Structure 1
Amino acid sequence: MVKVEIVDEKDANASPYASSASSRTGSSASLSSVDSAASVDESFFDRIVALKDIVPPATRHTISTRVAQSAAVVKRGGKLLGNIIWVLTTSTLLIGLPLALIIEDEAKAEAQEKEMLEQQQGVQQMIAPSESKGLVPPGF
């Protein structure tokens, strides 16, 4: 059941929505102060959350599902990439490091052999001119 009341015009003018010029100016001044206070207290995140009511539930569900699927794909891709990097790193350490050490040892051994040959050639060059002058007996 609906109850009907009679409203006097005096009470209607006291309303903030009255159409008189003075009340419009007063209400616009009060609205600007309310807007500035609301914008200071309200964050960007709060405004984004408030937009939730604008988007229909079916669209929100679709967006949420696609974001979740994208996150799952990125997570699986990251895990796969991490596993590949792990395999390559451990393979390099188990095969490459010993191989590099062996190659380094071989290079050192070759350098020592070369040095020994150079020393022998130096001794032979010193002996050869001496034999021709007769200072060193042959067969030395």
Structure 2
Amino acid sequence: MVKVEIVTENEESNGVYSSHASSRTGSTESVNSTKSEPEEVNEETILERLAALKDIIPPTTRYTIASRAVRTASLLKTLGKAAGNLVWIVTTSALLVGLPLALSLEDEAKIVQQEKEMLAQQQGAQQMIAGYPASSSSQQQKGVVPPGF
């Protein structure tokens, strides 16, 4: 428990800090004269300072904060594993189903293109055969160039 005590200053006391000098230099000189030894430098680390803060926070609050931090870390770990599993399932499915499907669609497109080319060649051959007259001398023969020349 802290005990509060009222101290009255006596104007007649001759303390180190009490002076009737009105200038600033007089008061700084009296403060400087009190330092007889240099202060020791306290090399306290940040971890030591944080450990000292532990005493400020009540134990119930510390327990609540620690338990929430553990639960949050556990939740994040579980969500990370679930997300990783989901990504694995999607990529594996895409490779096992999507890749063969894409290759078969490409092959089918090539086959359709080849069928169109063959049909165009057949139509060109029929036009060549139909385009020649039956040996009539009055009509001029038209030269039909087959496709690809």
| TM class by smaller structure | 0.5 to 0.7
- SS at 2:57 equivalent: coil
Residue matched to 2:96: 94
> Is residue 32 of structure 2 the alignment partner of residue 25 of structure 1?
yes
Larger Rg belongs to: 2
Cα distance in structure 1, aligned partners of 2:66 and 2:135: 100
Gaps of 5+ in 1: 1-18, 136-140
The alpha-carbon distance between structure 1 residues 76 and 130, as it changes in their structure 2 partners (threshold 3 A), is: same
Could you say if the C-alpha distance between residues 62 and 124 of structure 1 is closer, same or farther in structure 2, counting changes exceeding 3 Å? same
- Hey, what does 1:7 align to over in structure 2? none
Corresponding residue for residue 77 of structure 1:
79
1:103, 1:27 → 2: CA distance? 94
TM-score w.r.t. length of structure 1: 0.64
* More helix per residue: 1
Counterpart in 2 of 1:130? 132
- Cα distance change, pair 25–92 in 1 and its aligned pair in 2 (3 A): same
For 2:108, the equivalent position in structure 1 comes to 106
Task: Please tell me whether the aligned partners of residues 16 and 30 of structure 2 are also in contact (alpha carbons under 8 angstroms).
Answer: yes
Gaps in structure 2 of 5+ consecutive residues:
1-14, 18-28, 142-149
The two structures have a TM-score, normalised by structure 2, of 0.61
| Distance in 2 between residues matched to 1:64 and 1:128, nearest whole Å | 93
Query: What does residue 119 of structure 2 align with?
Result: 117
Matching of residues 20-59 of structure 1 within 5 Å:
20-21=16-17, 24-26=31-33, 44=46, 46-59=48-61
Task: Work out the number of aligned pairs and report it.
Answer: 112
Structure 1 residue ranges (4+ consecutive) displaced by more than 3 angstroms after TM superposition: 21-28, 41-50, 131-135
Which of the pair has the greater relative contact order for Cα pairs under 8 Å at 6+ separation? 2
For 1:133 and 1:54, the matched residues in 2 are separated by 117
Give the SS at the match of 1:131. Answer: coil
CA shift for structure 1 position 54: 1.3
Q: Cα–Cα, structure 1 residues 127 and 56, in superposed 2: closer, same or farther, change >3 Å?
A: same
Q: CA deviation at 1:130?
A: 1.4
